[in-house]
Amino acid sequence: MDKYQYLIALAVLMFAIGLAGVVIRRNLMVVVMCLELMLNSVVLAFVVFAARSGTLAGAAMAFFLYIAAACEIAVAMAIVVMLVERRGSLDLAADYELKG
Amino acid sequence: MISDVLIAVFGAMAIVFALLVVVLRQPMRAALALIAHMASLAAIFACLDVHVVALFQILIYVGAVMVFMVYAIMLLDDRDASLAHMFSRWSVPAVIVAAVPVVALGAMLVQWAPSVAPAAPAAAAGGPALFSFSAFSVAFMTQYWFHFEVASILLVIGIVAAWAVIAERR
């Protein structure tokens, strides 16, 4: 296994850890952090493929992912603060009225 | 090579800190573990000679996104039921579902290993100069200018959406 394969395996493992965290944790802030973990694993995969192929496309895509992450966190934090003010709790079980 | 050893070490650190994000009880400690995880990833990017993305990782993720998140944690009172009962009752099925991509992609990697063509490392295609700021700037001005403009529109939409949520609160 060369270093690129090691890093892609790392990205897969990070994505799985983030996915497990999103589903098993009950704290809203930690769930958002686990989403960031999953996004980070995607950035890692793009950068590894860019470095392996010796092209800029993957690294440019990582830059656009950072912009998407910045937008995501701005909206997510506003929603989290709104939900917590409404329910008075960071516990996801308090948001039982959410559909889906 | 020293960079390979560093990549292995920082990779192991990234996994350990990712696990800590999931298992730590206090959100603030989880946030600090996530910051350490992102710094480890930035070190990996630097070892791969992709210095621009390493810098963005520190500036945008650790410097902006995580500071924002730490402020939000400090703003909210986190002493509630989610502190006493960290995990949901769906923990076991969730871990099984999360293990499926690991097993599937792990099997794919094992299959891929013997058949893969030798990597064309960045060194062969121009070395660190390929991922330098000047190369990035030229690519963004010539190839990715449209995407760059669309990204700025996305940022404006993000600001308006956050403002709309706050306005809803009032």
What does the alpha-carbon distance between residue B28 and residue B8 come to, in Å, rounded to a whole number?
27
Contacts of B38 in chain A (CB under 8 A): 40
pTM (predicted TM-score): 0.87
Angle at A38 between CA A97 and CA B100, to 5 degrees: 90
Is A30–B130 a contact, with Cβ atoms under 8 angstroms apart?
no
Q: Which of B83, B101, B113 is the closest to A12 by Cβ? A: B101
Count of all residues that appear for chain B in the document:
170
Half-sphere exposure of B37 (CA within 13 A, CB side): 30
pLDDT tens digit sequence for B83-140: 777 777 778 887 888 888 788 877 877 776 666 666 655 555 556 677 888 888 888 8
Q: Tokens for B147? A: 């995407």
pLDDT tens digit sequence for A9-55: 899 999 999 988 988 888 888 999 999 999 999 999 999 999 988 88
What does the alpha-carbon distance between residue A55 and residue B120 come to, in Å, rounded to a whole number?
10
Is B61–A12 a contact, with Cβ atoms under 8 angstroms apart?
no
pLDDT tens digit sequence for B1-25: 788 899 999 999 999 999 999 999 8
How much is the pLDDT for A65? 92
Read off the pLDDT band of B41 (50, 70, 90): very high
Q: Tokens for A31? A: 């769930």
Residue with tokens 């010796």: A54
Instruction: Say what the ipTM of the complex is.
Output: 0.91
Residues sharing a CB contact under 8 Å with residue A39, sequence separation 6 or more, in sequence order: A65, A68, A69, A72
Contacts of B31 in chain A (CB under 8 A): 29, 33
Cβ contacts from A onto B, under 8 A:
252
Q: Would you say A33 and B35 are in contact if contact means Cβ atoms under 8 Å apart?
A: no
